[in-house]
Amino acid sequence: MVRQASLQTELEPIVGPENLRPAGAYVVDGVMPRVAVAPRDAETVAAVVRYANERGLTIIPQGGRRHIALGNVPTRYDIAVDTTGLADVVEYEPEDLTITVQAGMTLGALRKATAKAAQAVPFDPSLPDEATVGGALAADAWGAARMSLGAARDFTIGLRVVTGDGLVTRAGGRVVKNVAGYDMCKLYIGSLGTLAVITEATFKTLPLPKAMERLAFGFAGAEEACRVPNEAIMRGLTVRSAVVSREGSRWLLDVQLAGSPAAVKHSVAELRSLAREEGGTDAPPPAKSQTRAVTSRVLALPSRVAGVIAALPKDATIAAYPTLGVARVGSDAPLELGVPSVIEACPAAMKAGREVFGDAPASLELMRAMKAKLDPKGVLGPGRFVGGI
């Protein structure tokens, strides 16, 4: 095993002394790396990964650290690789509706870059501005507008990555009509950096909506609150997002509409009428819920979401997405929910001995085989993914 002092000495000429960072700022689930580096380009990232691969060391790549709480406790953690130094626009073609950026760019900076052409990459605008492109992709981060904008897998058309042996490869391309070979982008997105370090991404862009409106309604029951947005979708209303929460004994539905001015105006009238049919009344937008120690993502069929959230403890905070079949639940300790769930964030002490991704999927052995192929020495984030991969 390479000693910490010599590890830093050996990495210094690879990344440059100015790109060494205090290791204490990169703790993951209570585990501190032996050294932290912040490469300024993809080639240096690859050099660091090759160094780790050759010496039997491990790496956890990270950007803005807004989603670093997701995942199991790492079994080993030697080098933190901070990608925030890779923050440039590589290529932007507004006419082609595509943009290529480095993985360390924040989502806020990405929005500013595309806003000049009245466009946007379809990441949910409610995601934190401090989150980076690479981190959001690695965590497959999403918010309430996923129902209309889609998930990252839907609008990511190309990635440049560094695999566990330090090989720089590309998946997909920089044009929308790209159908050659396997779609490896979908494999890397959501893998928490355990298959490869994302250094660059190409996205489809969308025009910004011409009009937006936000409405909120109060209901006596979760069933009625969840039924309204599903019915609104069936009627073709311009629903961008819909979130159901609980406030005391009432259930609140927070809806955002987006589209052309005429379509939004029509949808506002239709939605009000639909809410009244279900016993809903106009309400102020829900207050931001307090942060809890544990955040769990609960999965259910859209038709069952209302029943699942209605049965949750009274002190739990809830943000349910009835059209997606998902709810985020906040609590002071992990809950026995009785349905498939993932712990998205909780203190490291609560993770000890716990599989945060729930029951192992049927595809676990296939996932292990893929990990062995792309990262045979287990360099990248060992133990953090499903089943301790």
- β-bridge pairing 119-120 and 206-207: antiparallel
Q: How confident is the model at residue 211 (pLDDT cuts 50, 70, 90)?
A: very high
**pLDDT score at 34:** 97
Distance (Å, whole) CA 379 – CA 238: 45
pLDDT in tens, 104-142: 999 999 999 999 999 999 999 888 999 999 999 999 999
How large is the average pLDDT for residues 90-99?
96
Distance (Å, whole) CA 374 – CA 370: 6
**pLDDT score at 1:** 57
**pLDDT score at 4:** 66
DSSP per position, 40-60? SSHHHHHHHHHHHHHHT--EE
Task: Tell whether the model's pLDDT for residue 240 goes beyond 90.
Answer: yes
pTM comes to: 0.94
Task: Tell whether the model's pLDDT for residue 165 goes beyond 70.
Answer: yes
**pLDDT score at 272:** 98
How large is the average pLDDT for residues 238-249?
96
Q: How many CB atoms lie within 10 A of CB 152?
A: 26
**pLDDT score at 183:** 84
Task: Tell whether the model's pLDDT for residue 178 goes beyond 80.
Answer: no
Task: Tell whether the model's pLDDT for residue 229 goes beyond 60.
Answer: yes
- β-bridge pairing 79-82 and 59-62: parallel
DSSP-derived letter for residue 28 is B
**pLDDT score at 2:** 64
pLDDT in tens, 48-84: 999 999 999 999 999 999 999 999 999 999 999 999 9
